[in-house]
Amino acid sequence: MPLVSIGLPVFNGERYLARAIETILGQSFRDFELIVCDNASTDRTPAILAEAARHDDRIRYVRNNANIGAAPNWNRVFSMATGVLFKWASHDDLHAPTYLERCVAAMQADPGLVLCHTATTLVDEDEAELPRDPLDGTYRDRAGNLRFGAPPPTRAQSPDPVQRFRDIHVDMIRCFDIFGLMRSDVLRRTALHRSYYGSDKALLVELALLGRFSEVPEPLFLKRDHAETSLTLSAAEKARWIDPACRPPKLLPRRLYYAQVLDALGRSGLSPAEKARCLGIIAANVKWRGLLRRALPHQS
C-alpha cells in the first residue's frame, strides 16, 4: 500500500497528457500510485495511457464505458485510492520533481494539516511562464489581459476555523489548492465534488473547516493556461462538461455552491457561535455581491 495516491481524471487529453504523466512519474518521492481514469475519450488518450502503464507499474489505468461527467470522474479516482495521502492531478498541469517530497514532509511534520500545496507558476501551451507582476502577483496573457490574480495570503492557515472559512469562501478566486496533497481520511468526510461548475471551491471550504492548509513557498506546481481549459468554456459548455446529458439544473451554480457550503457548515462540528460567525460572513458576502450587481448591472 503506497503512502500517496494520485488521481488523474482525463477526457480527450492527448495534447498534454504524456507530459503531465512524465512529471508525476519523475518525482523524487516515489512511494505513490497513479490512478488514471479515462472518461471514455475519443482521441489518442487510451493509447497514451496504455503505453505509460506498460512501462511503470505504479500506474493503475481504468476506462469508463461512457462519459460519466467531470465531477463523478474526479470522485471515482479518489474512490480507488489506497494511500494515506491523496492528491488530484490534471492532464495538462506539471509538477517539479520535488513537489511530492516537499508536501509529504510538511504533512508528516504537522498532523493538524489537512492539505499542503506549493506556490504556483502559470505557464502557457509551450510551458513558458506567463508575464507576472512581481508587486501584486498577478498573471497576464501575452496580450496583457489579466488571467489570474494573486492568491490570498496565508490562506486557511489560521488555527481559527472561521478565519479559514473566510479565506476560502471570500478571498479565494482560483482554486489551485484543489490540486494539493490531502489527508484521505479527512477528504472522505466531505461531500467531494458535486455536479456543478464551482463545486471545487465548496470542497475547499469544507476542508478548511476541518483543518489547516499549508503552502510550500517554492513554485513547484505549474498550472498550464491554454485555450482548451474549462475557464474558457461558455456556461452551456461548462454544464455539458460537468454533465454530458446536460440536464437543466434545478438551481443555478451559485445557489448550488451555497447549498453545498451550508451543508458542509452543518456537518463541520463547529460550535454554534463559530457557525454563527460563518453565517455572518456568508450574509455579508451575499449582500456585497448584490450591491455590486446593482451598481454595475453589466457585471455578472
pLDDT, position 139: 77
Q: Where are the domains of the chain?
A: 4-295
Q: Which of 56, 84, 86 is nearest to 74 (CA)?
A: 86
pLDDT, position 288: 57
pLDDT, position 296: 45
Grid-cell match 511534520, residue found: 109
pLDDT, position 285: 82
The pLDDT averaged over each successive group of 10 residues in the chain (300 residues) is 97 96 98 98 97 97 95 96 98 97 98 96 89 75 70 86 96 91 98 92 97 96 80 67 63 83 96 96 76 45
Q: To which CATH superfamily is domain 4-295 assigned?
A: Spore Coat Polysaccharide Biosynthesis Protein SpsA; Chain A (3.90.550.10)
pLDDT, position 232: 63
Q: Is 290 exposed, middle or buried (0-12, 13-18, 19+ CB in 10 A)?
A: exposed
Report residue 151 as a C-alpha cell: 492568491
pLDDT, position 55: 95
How many Cβ atoms sit within 10 Å of the Cβ of residue 299? Answer: 8
Q: Label each residue of the chain as H, E or C.
A: CCCEEEEEEECCCCCCHHHHHHHHHCCCCCCEEEEEEECCCCCCHHHHHHHHHHHCCCEEEEECCCCCCHHHHHHHHHHCCCCCEEEECCCCCEECCCHHHHHHHHHHHCCCEEEEEEEEEEECCCCCECCECCCCCCEECCCCCEEECCCCCCCCCCCCHHHHHHHHHHHCCCCHHHHCEEEHHHHCCCCCCCCCCCHHHHHHHHHHHHCEEEEEEEEEEEEECCCCCHHHCCHHHHHHHHCCCCCCCCCCHHHHHHHHHHHHHHCCCCCHHHHHHHHHHHHHHHHHHHHHHHHCCCCC
pLDDT, position 299: 41
pLDDT, position 298: 46
d(CA 142, CA 140) in angstroms, rounded, equals 7
Report residue 53 as a C-alpha cell: 502503464
Q: Which of 171, 297, 193 is nearest to 243 (CA)?
A: 193
Q: Which of 169, 172, 171, 156 is nearest to 116 (CA)?
A: 156
Q: Half-sphere exposure (CA, 13 Å, Cβ side) for 56? A: 19
